[in-house]
Chain A
Amino acid sequence: MARRPGETLLAHLARIGLPVLQRSIRYHRPRGPLCGVGACSQCLVRVNGAPNVRACEYEPADGDRIATENAWPSPHWDLLGAFDLLFPRGLDTLHGFRTPGFAAPLYQRVVRRLAGYGHLPDPPTDPPPALGESLQTDVLVIGGGRSGRASAASLVAAGRETVVLDRAPSSAPLDGARWRAGTTVSFLPRPHLDRPHPFAAIATRRDRSSLFVRAREVVVAIGGYDGPLLFPGNDRPGVLTAEGAEALVPAGAVPPFRRALLFGGGARVLPLLERFGQHIEAVAAPGSVRGEIAEKAAPLEVPVYPRSLLVGASGRRRVRRAHLRTRGGGASVDLDVDAIVLAHRRLPNPQLFYQAGARMEWRREAGAYFPVLGADGATSVPGLFAAGTVGGFVPDATPSASGRAAADAVLGRPWAPGDLPPRVGAETPGELEGYYHELLAGARGHGKWVLCPCEDVLLHEVEEASAHGFRGIEVIKRMTAVGTGLCQGRYCLPDALLVLAYLESRPPSEVGYITQRPPFLPARLEALAALPEDPPPSTEAT
């Protein structure tokens, strides 16, 4: 197959079918791609001797050696997949494998064999990356999407020296700003407020190098992601987030599914329905479904199931069927589908705010934490601002308005009434507390509920720890490994908070939150090693 320019390995493979590239870590369950944005653990491959390369980010070149990981002989037929069938209740690594004592080394060898994805990297043949770039600026804008770009444009227009770091590999630069594409901020430490440039962010780049930026002020506009949903079989190949489906299917390509269930009833659903129209079998939503969606679905003869629980997905190597039940003890519907696209909630990436020490608040209507913003648009950390989804502003609707507002806040310009764009509220039908309450109180049915796909942590492990009297996400995380895998909680924590809230009979905000540790997204050791030295504050020009 000829490659198209800019095509990722994942999209390339998806042209012949749904790529199933690996097995899961404990039970060797088949795993297909999930997130499509380089943040989960489900499309890892070995490329030219380097393990754990994400196929959704990698653009293949001629002569590449690409191999699957953690599967033998192949991800489709894997002998260790027997563990999944032999242990329907999972392996109890907390209490099991203890006796007899003399067998410990044997147990350890077996369990260790199951751990890890890729094998040790081949010895490197190229030299390590050169020492990274060091920049100093008035304002650092993190994120070059619509909000970040709007912020940067306002700041440049006001004569502020501006650096923009954008994760997208080839975004167009902005005149007047120093723009670095393909750059992910890994760590935004708490600022040293006594220095003229209090912020010192570090970033890693796609070309394996790194970057060090000092700034007087920072605007964070790193957006959000399409969140997960817990149901039995939620880790089956074919379960995708909306972004995952978009990444798998470049514009104009035929998707590797024919009959997808689109799950969600809000703003995120409409463009997906337009794009995948004839490949959508049904739309179901945890709550109400917007009128425009129903209007769009009718001519396509796509049935719409509002107020539905997704109670399961069956099919071993691929989703074959989705099971819905109308909320409030209503009728059941089984749908023959080969994919489930999750578009029911858009979640913010809050990590950098936590790293920088900003005060956060749980917003029930969105089911997520956002930075507390003062009347002047600043977070609780002086000099730190938020724009777009991470600031809790309505996604898609007016991102550039929130970007401009953040720039105004940096510039100390007073806002006129109504300047601030709408924040997430009634707009978001993703209020899931009640949904999870109903789902978890109901019958459990068959199949594994994989709460944390990276570490294969099952729902009942969390329930047992909770029943044992261990409370709060910090303890449950250490006990079950929820949130400690490759995605660092991105695809399990939002559900885990709701599950614990149910189990502990208290609001999600009281369950706590796990410390958001650096780096934000995995950072390569060689890039970190190439970070330039941080000049001591005494040598700084003021």
Chain B
Amino acid sequence: MNRSRYRVVVVGAGIIGLYTAWHLARAGVSDVLVVDRGFLSNGASGRNGGGVRQQWDTRATVRLARESVHAFRSFGHDFGYNIWFRQGGYLFVAESAEELERLRAVQRVVASEGLPARVLDPAQIARRAPALSLEHVVGGTYLASDGTVYPFPAVWGLYDAVRAKGVEVALGVELQRVVVENGRVVAVETSAGRVATDTVVNAAGGWSKEVSDRAGLTVPNVATRHEILATEPLKPFLDPMVVRASDGLYFSQTMRGEIVGGVTVHHPPGTEAGMPSSTEFLRTMARALTGLVPRLRGLGVLRAWSGFYDDTPDGLPVIGEDPRLKGFVHANGFGGHGVMISPATTRRVAQVVLGERTDLDPAMFAPDRFLGVARNGTTERLQLG
């Protein structure tokens, strides 16, 4: 770290942290330090399946996703790295009338925002994804402009771009404590020394709860471990990302030909156990995938890995300044969807840091929503793919 004071310190050099730094630098604030205790792409930004969808169940998130899709389309031009944003569509499949009704409800929200999401019958699904077994499929929804990216080059492109604008990125540096005086941030203590600042952005993904802890703040975020695998590469046969409503099975075929996907398996929450793989996931995923695509039965699995979702009680991210601590800005709680809505959400994070108004509904996104009267239970949301 070259200086003893920065206007903004961003914790986390994943896609959320780096994109936030980029929006800040573009707005003229390049006096920014980004710290990360790992290497680039060590966290969820480098561990996800690359899905980018606009089929969300609220109009606000559909809008953020649509704006993000526009940004991904021009990412190569803007940042010099090819993220291979391939708009092969997102295909949700339902295996019961109830599931289909849930998908239809989402489709109506998406269509109301002017995106041509469609309800498909099994025959139409067969045309979009010819290898699928339709034995149990009753229908689905599809949006052609959804797609997939390679998340790594997105991180590198941002890493290069922010440094070119004068932002400092310190890798292998851990935030140890946020120093507070009179209810506001005054400095951070890191493994590489103390740095004065009056703004900290918590973009630590799965570790955001720990970072908030180090500022003395209790937050409802929970890190949950999710697993994913990749198979031997095949010649292209599958265009869309396929998501099954019943069990959260999702998979797509990457540009390299591998089938990459996961399925929901519940592990104890928290980051303490690290990121191991599990036999349970390998078995559950193999059963789910070969059930829906029997032709993949003989295909070899090359590798499996895991990463953390940063979940919130209502399944929506936390964006805004913490009302308990002036200068502490949340950009976390993305619940496994950070990459897909990163361009649009981080623009708002930067606006918060700069003290500008955002168009985000505070009732949906602000950290305040978890601090007042507790809401009734948790909301079931479309947390797929």
What residues make up the interface of A, taking CB atoms closer than 8 Å to B?
A: 25, 50-52, 70, 93-99, 101, 104-105, 108, 111-113, 115-124, 128, 186-187, 189-190, 200, 202, 208, 212, 455, 470, 472, 474-475, 478-479, 481, 484-486, 488, 515, 517-519, 522-529, 531, 533-534
Contacts and interface: CB of A to CB of B under 8 A. Distances in A.
Contact of A116 (B40, B87, B234, B294): B234
A486 to B, nearest CB: 6
18 contacts: A25-B233, A52-B300, A95-B80, A98-B82, A104-B85, A115-B254, A116-B233, A116-B235, A117-B235, A119-B235, A123-B294, A189-B276, A478-B41, A518-B303, A519-B282, A523-B301, A525-B289, A531-B279
A181 B150 CA distance: 40
Given A108-B255, A119-B234, A120-B131, A525 B299 contact: yes
Nearest to A117: B233
Contacts of A481: 256
Contacts, number: 184
8 shortest A-B CB distances, which residue pairs? A116-B257, A522-B300, A98-B76, A528-B286, A529-B286, A115-B257, A526-B297, A517-B303
B46 interface: yes
A518 B279 CA distance: 9
B97 interface: no
Name the residue among B77, B277, B305 with the largest chain A CB count within 10 angstroms: B277
A528 B39 contact: no
Nearest to B73: A101
Contact of B276 (A121, A190, A200): A190
B282 A518 contact: yes
Contacts of B236: 112-113, 115-116
B296 interface: yes
Contacts of A524: 297-301
Contacts of A25: 233
Contacts of B42: 474
A180 B114 CA distance: 60
A262 to B, nearest CB: 32
A94 B81 contact: yes
Contact of B82 (A52, A93, A116, A525): A93
Nearest to A202: B279
Interface residues of B, number: 55
B229 to A, nearest CB: 9
B44 to A, nearest CB: 14
B371 interface: no
Interface string B276-320: 111110110111011000111111111111000000000000000
Nearest to A473: B39
Interface of B: 39-42, 46, 73-74, 76-77, 80-82, 84-87, 131, 152-153, 156, 231-237, 254-257, 276-280, 282-283, 285-287, 289-290, 294-305
A95 B156 CA distance: 11
Nearest to B78: A98
B232 A99 contact: no
Nearest to B231: A525
A449 B76 CA distance: 28
B41 A115 contact: no
Contact of B301 (A116, A119, A472, A522): A522
Interface class of chain A by DSSP:
loop
Nearest to B87: A105
Contacts of A486: 232-233, 302
B230 to A, nearest CB: 8
B283 A528 contact: yes
A108 B39 CA distance: 29
Given A101-B73, A117-B233, A519-B301, A189 B81 contact: no
B234 A120 contact: yes
Contacts of A526: 286, 290, 297-298
A531 B84 contact: no
Given A112-B257, A119-B234, A189 B296 contact: no
Nearest to B75: A98
A475 B41 contact: yes
A485 B254 CA distance: 13
Contact of A525 (B156, B280, B301): B301
A475 B36 CA distance: 14
Contacts of B156: 94, 470, 479
A227 to B, nearest CB: 20
Q: Which of A116, A186, A533 has the most CB of B within 10 A?
A: A116
B290 A200 contact: no
Nearest to B74: A101
B128 to A, nearest CB: 15
A474 B172 CA distance: 13
Nearest to A474: B39
Contacts of B286: 525-529, 531
Given A51-B234, A108-B84, A525 B297 contact: yes
Candidate in B85, B254, B283, B296 with the most chain A CB atoms within 10 angstroms: B283
Given A113-B236, A117-B234, A122 B82 contact: no
Contacts of A533: 283
B333 to A, nearest CB: 25
A124 B131 CA distance: 12
Given A95-B82, A519-B304, A524-B299, A472 B39 contact: yes
B300 A121 contact: no
Contacts of A105: 86-87
A400 to B, nearest CB: 32
Contacts of B80: 95, 98
Nearest to B238: A120
A108 B278 contact: no
A533 B255 CA distance: 34
Contact of A488 (B77, B82, B231, B303): B303
Given A108-B84, A529-B287, 4 more contacts: A99-B76, A470-B40, A479-B156, A526-B290
A115 B233 contact: yes
